[in-house]
Amino acid sequence: MPVQLFVTCLVNSLYPDVGKATVALLERAGHEVEFPVDQTCCGQPSFNGGFAAEAKQQARQTLDVLDATEGPIVVPSGSCAAMIIHHNPELLHDDPDYLAKAERVAARTHELTQFLAADGDPGTPVAGAATTTYHASCHALRWLGVLEEPKRLLDDAGVDRIELAGEDECCGFGGLFSIKAPEVSGAMMNTKIDQIEASGAEVVVGVDVSCLLHIAGGLRRRGSTIRVRHVAEMLAGDAE
């Protein structure tokens, strides 16, 4: 059975390398990867912002595309996976047709590292990887329980991983929050970056590019040499 890749709008436009690495990992694990080309945005930014009508439009589009496919749906983003798994059924509770679709699609959807971990991915050693630390993205952690899976995958791949103090503290992104309250958001990000710098890691990894772009933007502003990578890139050996 094929695996459907829901790549997310941010990966599509900003970080296609994360998508490529995801394809490589899934194929390496023996899956046939399909990419439904009509996918767009899952609607999470609208949903979180309180724009229910817009979120519903995007959710219906996503569900139409994904429900027409078969096999597990894999998402290299904790927050978009949480949108599809948890928030779509909530959002569409008064729309019987789409509620059924939302529940079918939710049941087939997996965050990437949880999918790989359940798959028993043997882990291909990553050569010469730098000291790495893991930031737990909030939605992946609290809505999906993603924490041990990415760490185990990194460890199995022989990545030199050190724990991050305050790994479960929000980086301050929060989509519209960072636009509406940039000072608080920035303060949260700076705390996170202080923690990352204090860890001594050369690379910080996560499972959600939205948090990662926020952290990367702050690190660059500081002139830091710490690199930011998605777990998929690390596992696929694209750490540089």
Residue 12 vs 160, nearer CB to another protein: 12
Nearer to another protein, 13 or 225 (CB): 13
CA dist., res. 190 & res. 43, Å (int): 28
Shortest spacing between CB 57 and another protein, in angstroms: 5
Q: How far is the CB of 41 from another protein (least distance, A)?
A: 5
* Least separation in angstroms between CB 201 and another protein: 19
CB of 160 to another protein, least distance (A): 26
CB of 19 to another protein, least distance (A): 4
CB neighbours of 28 closer than 8 A, spacing ≥ 6? 124, 236
Please identify, using beta-carbon distances, which residue of 61 and 131 lies nearer to another protein. 61
Q: Which is nearer to another protein, 123 or 213 (CB)?
A: 213
Closer CB to another protein, 47 or 115, in the complex: 47
Q: Which residues here bind another protein, judged by CB under 8 A? A: 7, 9, 11-17, 19-20, 35, 37-41, 43, 45-55, 57-58, 60-61, 65, 90, 138-139, 141-143, 168-170, 172-191, 213-214, 216-218, 220-221
- For residue 137, the minimal CB distance to another protein (Å) is 9
In the bound state with another protein, the residue whose beta carbon lies nearer, of 123 and 186, is 186
The sign of the torsion formed by the CA atoms of 70, 144, 138, 152 equals negative
User: How many angstroms separate the CA atoms of 115 and 197, rounded?
Assistant: 30
